[in-house]
A and B are shown apart, each in its own frame.
Chain A
Amino acid sequence: MPVILVTDILVWLLAAVAAGYAFHCRRRPHLAIPWARVFRSATAMASVVVLGAYATLGLLDSLHFRPALEQKNAEQRAYSSEVLSVLDLAVSHLRGRGEKTYSAPLATRSYAKEQIELPDGRQVRDFPRLAFGGAHLNGEDEWAVDVVKRTLAGLAVAVVLLILFFLATKTLMKRRPEIPWHAAGISLAVVLLLAGPVLALSTGYHVLGTDKVGQDIFYLALKSVRTSLVIGTLTTLVLLPVGIALGISAGYFKGWVDDVIQYLYTTLNSIPGVLLIAAAVLMMQVYIDLHPETFQTAVQRADLRLLFLCVILGLTSWTGLARLLRGEALKLSQLEYIQAAHAFGVRDTRILARHILPNVSHIVIIAMVMDFSGLVLAEAVLSYVGVGVDPSTNSFGTMINAARMEMAREPVVWWALATAFSFMFALVLAANLFADAIRDGFDPRVRM
């Protein structure tokens, strides 16, 4: 049974809007030219590949359903209370293969000593073999060979895929020689050469280890991607209408409208953001706790909290965009084509929609991509503080929060933190590089 979460709808809506925008741009040269300039940059192409990989994960993880339970009575179908996504199906071998507790990456034994009963009845205190990690090995001496074998197999598959990709896009490359395909190729190669062996190894091992309750870290990281993307994109969806509407009307109408809006955002800006977010999220939590009957599953409950976090983040962070747009609209409203429109008696709403909005769109796009990475990081911080997403939602913030205590342990459990760090680092770095390329492409001042 498909489960439609609110954030799923919004995520797919956003993807559709992005596709529609791309189509819209293709037919309008003044929009297509800056994008063409963006894609002529090597860093942009490289980061697009990385962002694409993340987006694919996020979108696959945004198709939810509840699997049917096997029942003796065929007429009466019952569904599991567990909500799964398409991504869970794709990496089903990672899910539900919990160990008892920590284990290091690729380990065959647990990270903590236990009393083990030997077949002969004796008891020893040792590191026990893992239930799943390396369970297929006949003896632990085969480990090295097996790991190398799997790695090589993964690499081989990656290379084959690369060649296939290369052949498939050959005509495209010929048609658009100005785009730095080599940059995209290199970054695709890096992604595939990392993903290949990791996936190949993940069938038999916990590639990135397990956490305190024995969950596979690699799986947690994959599931966290969606949360980051949702926060980064849906928040802008909330932020944009507010920021744009208030920003351009303040700049265009001036007078008391401007005064009111300026007052609003200066006041909002002076309230510490974390405080506001914490208060709002806690209020939401109280509501959720008091109305448990509204939610069929735990995932739906957690999803609502995620959405609410997006809304509240959006409502506290539109001020920067509004301020930028106000300045730009002030400048534009003095321009002669706006005055010409006044001379034609064109209505204000029409002037805003036809003249002001299209001419601030570059600022909106730049602000949107710039905000994205900031929001991803903000989510991690908020979850760490404890006012972020629901504890049951996988996110980099909750991963870091769970792993922080283990930094003091001897020997240190480093893999959970390292994984969250590198996944988030790659995402934010790619987003930042892409944002830079977009700014260079869209900023009228850098145009030649």
Chain B
Amino acid sequence: MTGQLTESVLEVTNLKTRIDTPTGELRAVDGVDIELQKGKCFALVGESGSGKSMTALSLMRLLPEAGRISDGRVLLGGQDLLALPEAAMRAVRGRRVAMIFQEPSTALNPVLTVGRQIMEVIERHTALTGDAVRRRALELLDAVGIPDAAWRCGEYPFQLSGGLKQRVMIACALAAEPEVLIADEPTTALDVTIQAQILDLLAKLQAEHDMAILLITHDLGIVARMAQRVAVMYAGEIVEIAERGAFFAAPQHPYSQKLFEALPSSEKRGTELSAIAGQVPPLTGSFTGCRFVERCELAYLRCRQEVPRLAAIPGDASGRRLVRCHLREQGLAAAPQLISAGLDEGTLVAVASMPVLVELEDLKVHFPIRKGLFKRTVGHVKAVDGVSLTIHSGRTLALVGESGCGKTTAGKALLRLIPPTHGRVVFAGRDLSALSRQALRKSRGAMQIIFQDPYGSLNPRMRTADILAEGMRSLGVGRDEKDRMYRMAELLEQVGLPLEALARYPHEFSGGQRQRIAIARALAVEPKLIVCDEPTSALDVSVQAQILNLLKSLQDRLGIAYLFITHNISIVEYLAHEVAVMYLGRIVERGTAEEVLGNPMHPYTQALLSAVPTVEGKREIMRLSGELPSPAHPPAGCHFHPRCPKATAECRETYPEAVQLVRGRTVNCVLYRGVSKAASNI
């Protein structure tokens, strides 16, 4: 134990941060103890509002104006950071403790070159001057894996992609070789393949510089991949601290257990996800018992009356895990049982046996790029470039791909929210593209959409009743106002909201409840198809589970088909019947969920799947270099060849034809041409 103590870099004891709000003093961080060790990664996990980011900001003393640290000590190598004057603190920030933020695009100054921004940090915190500074900056850019560093140095942030910007941020943070690196959701704004690159980079740098990393995240998959030690935060407190292995083997706190159960995965297919009822309690009041008590299924009387302490578990041999729960005084909880629900009857029914609802044929959406005085069209952004899909009634087709691949545009073009440039959309036997504006309006009700951001998708100036009634009025659903009222009441019941919700405004609801209203709004006009555009990516895991359960039960009861646009593979595994993988405006692989996810064929699908961090542990990661090219100038030949590890000379020449492997399963890759011939011979 003494050996471990000497390694300790940053020690936080009883940190308390308060934020003044109009409703009273908010206990954002309420007595947090953390110990960061040299060369180790410590992960702080929690849902939004749990106080994890506030903890990081408190360590850096970068709190918002209304916030203040009311108690606690932050010892950095024996020096109390909270006692330092602000001037001395500035020398600590960046020099000894550095931080990288979630959104790389706002963390860099847009009017300074990248090189200038890195050099500024070097000049501020090291003794280097003149040309040495520039050499060091180039070194750093090389170290974070930015190709052609000398040239990139003179570029401005807007010329870099999100992944490169995050690398620059890391280079800035590392400029003075800090002892501690705080990474606040460093990859949340990035795509999975880029996320894999950045996480690799962080792990590599951590090992090279023997840094301590405080990783703040909500993604248990990232934790499993990066952290040595894990702390789970809930309502301003740490509820569980454990070594990674022990934590993932058997989480001890009921909240941690629930978090795991709420994660969608292929094993849970056909079963209902376990959602956490209720919401995080308001942190303005004081607590007489456990903060999780209202949402805990295992709570008993003592949980309400006595505040649990963060304590070791009797019977735990290592003694390195602490839990804030009365139940654990009786000893360790068992490892969770894998729920092997098996595939229920419904999913075994062949997808093709359901009637075809929608057929996209060679759908293209090109946005013209205009330049000059007369706005001449000089080129096209080929957002969607020939997509053909079929969606069956009552089934879910998942459209998977990185951001910028055109999946949202394809979904909106299907609904004719964006006019398609070319191709046909056949909905229930009728060609929508041939319909007049007037006729199209009438058939709008059959297809609806649910958006990603539950805050942007509801008009803040309208009451729920008006929001729900709008579509019904416009499309003439319901005979009269009274009839519509009945329908609205029914809708609210379907999505699990109380009737009182009708008279309230969107701002009075939480994110999950807003998403329920958005779903009710779509259901109001009795659609046969709903395009779900990343409906859960803005929500916490526990709320995501509620929404996924709701979508699933609605499909079972009402037979609605979903086009589920997402980048989250575990949701696809859990929910989808069929999968189509999209890359740069085109479908590269499609088939049933079991086929595509179980046996990915296209190199891009393989890379995409392997890049997703999972809680089960490490898969063999197939790394992709580079980023998604611009859809304005797609690479010649196969769009994927510049990043493809298996690319051949042929791939540079022509775009590969779709190869049909079995019924309904196609891959656009030259690697499988032989297989197709073999399959057709049989």
| Contact of A30 with B505 at beta-carbon distance under 8 Å, contacts A337-B456, A337-B459, A345-B442 already known | yes
B441, A336: Cβ atoms closer than 8 Å: no
Name the residue among B22, B440, B447 with the largest chain A CB count within 10 angstroms.
Answer: B22
| Minimum CB distance partner of B449 in chain A | A343
Can you list, as one digit per residue, whether each of A339-351 has a CB less than 8 Å from chain B (1) or not (0)? 1111111110010
B432 to chain A, nearest CB (A): 13
B-side contacts of A346, CB under 8 Å: 470-471, 474
Closest chain B residue to A358, Cβ basis = B461
Whether A343 lies near B459 (C-beta < 8 A) is no
Q: How far is the CB of A73 from chain B (nearest CB, A)?
A: 63
Question: Contact at A343–B461, with CB atoms within 8 Å?
Answer: no
Task: Identify B470's interface contact among A335, A341, A358, CB under 8 A.
Answer: A341
Beyond A343-B444, A345-B441, 4 additional pairs, beta carbon < 8 A:
A336-B453, A343-B471, A345-B440, A358-B462
**Does B525 touch A at the CB level, under 8 Å?**
yes
Nearest CB on A from B618, distance (A): 37
* Cβ-closest chain A residue relative to B437: A345
A448 at interface, CB cutoff 8 A: yes
Closest to B531 in A: A343
Q: Within B604-642, which residues are at the interface with A (CB < 8 Å)?
A: none
Asked if B448 is an interface residue, CB under 8 A from chain A, the answer is: yes
Interface size on A, residues (CB 8 A): 20
Docked-complex contact A339 and B525, CB < 8 angstroms: no
Report yes or no: B505 in contact with A29, Cβ–Cβ below 8 A. yes
Known interface pairs A337-B458, A359-B461. Does A344 touch B505 (Cβ–Cβ under 8 Å)? no
CB closest residue in chain B, given A40: B22
Some 5 contacts from A to B, beta carbons below 8 A apart, are A335-B456, A337-B457, A337-B459, A345-B441, A359-B460
Q: Report the minimum CB–CB distance from B66 to chain A (whole Å).
A: 8
| Count of residues in B whose CB is under 8 Å from the partner chain | 34
**Chain A residues with CB under 8 A of B441:** 345
Within 8 A of B (CB), among A243-273: none
Count A-B pairs with CB separation below 8 Å.
68
Q: Which residue of chain A lies nearest to B442 when distances are taken between CB atoms in the complex?
A: A345
Expressed in whole angstroms, the Cα–Cα distance for A340 and B527 within the complex equals: 13
Query: Is the pair B461, A344 in contact by a Cβ cutoff of 8 Å?
Result: no
Question: What 3 A-B pairs come out closest when comparing CB atoms?
Answer: A345-B441, A344-B471, A336-B457
Q: Is B326 part of the contact surface with A, judged by Cβ < 8 Å?
A: no
Give chain B nearest CB distance to A39 CB in angstroms.
Answer: 15
Cβ of A354 within 8 Å of any chain B Cβ, yes or no, is yes
Closest CB in chain B relative to A362 CB, distance in Å: 10
Contacts of B460 in A (CB 8 A): 30, 359
Q: Which of B417, B475, B507 contacts A342 (CB 8 A)?
A: B417
Chain A nearest CB from B461 CB (Å) reads: 4
Judged by a CB distance under 8 angstroms, whether A355 is at the interface is yes
State in angstroms the CA–CA spacing of A355 and B459 once bound together. Answer: 7
Chain A min CB distance to B454 (Å): 9
Task: Name the distance in Å between B449's Cβ and chain A's nearest Cβ.
Answer: 5
Judge if B599 is at the interface, Cβ distance under 8 Å.
no
In the complex, what's the smallest C-beta–C-beta distance from A253 to chain B, in angstroms? 15
Contact mask for chain A residues 423-448; partner B; CB cutoff 8 A; 1 contact, 0 none: 00000000000000000000000001
Contacts from A to B (Cβ < 8 Å): 29-30, 335-337, 339-347, 350, 354-355, 358-359, 448
Q: Which residues of B contact A337 (CB under 8 A)?
A: 456-459
Main secondary structure of the interface of A (DSSP, over half): helix
Considering the complex, give the chain B residue whose CB is closest to the CB of A361. Answer: B461
CB-nearest residue of chain A relative to B451? A336
CB distance from A317 to the nearest CB of B (A): 27
B525 lies within 8 A of A344 (CB): yes
B459 touches A339 (CB 8 A): no
B373 to chain A, nearest CB (A): 13
Whether B475 lies near A344 (C-beta < 8 A) is: yes
Residues of B within 8 A of A30 (CB): 460-461, 505, 507
Closest to B524 in A: A344
Among A30, A341, A342, A343, max chain B CB count under 10 A is at A343
Are A354 and B462 in contact, CB atoms less than 8 angstroms apart? yes
Chain B residues, Cβ within 8 Å of A355:
459
The residues of A that contact B471 with a CB separation of less than 8 Å are 343-344, 346
B521 at the interface (CB under 8 A from A): yes
Shortest B656–chain A CB gap in Å is: 34
User: B525 — nearest CB in chain A belongs to which residue?
Assistant: A344
Flag if A343 contacts B417 (CB, 8 Å). Answer: yes
Task: From A335, A350, A359, name the one whose CB has the most chain B CB atoms within 10 angstroms.
Answer: A335
B463 to chain A, nearest CB (A): 9
Contact A354 B470 (CB under 8 A): yes
What is the bound-complex CA distance between A347 and B451, given in angstroms?
21
- Residue of B with least CB distance to A344: B471
Pick from B66, B444, B447, B456: contact of A336, CB under 8 Å: B456
Q: B457 and A340: CB pair below 8 A? A: yes
Q: Which of chain B's residues have a CB closer than 8 A to the CB of A347?
A: 474
Find out whether the CB atom of B451 lies under 8 angstroms from the CB atom of A340.
yes
**A167 shortest CB reach to chain B, Å:** 31
Alpha-carbon distance A112/B120, docked complex (angstroms)? 73
Residues of A contacting B442 in the complex (Cβ-Cβ under 8 angstroms): 345
* Bound Cα distance from A336 to B415, whole angstroms: 14
Find chain A residues with CB under 8 A from B505 CB: 29-30
Q: Is residue B412 within 8 Å, beta carbon to beta carbon, of the partner chain?
A: yes
In chain A, what residue has the closest Cβ to B458?
A337
Residues of A within 8 A of B470 (CB): 341, 344, 346, 354
Which residues on the B side are within 8 Å of A339 (C-beta)? Answer: 412, 417, 449, 451
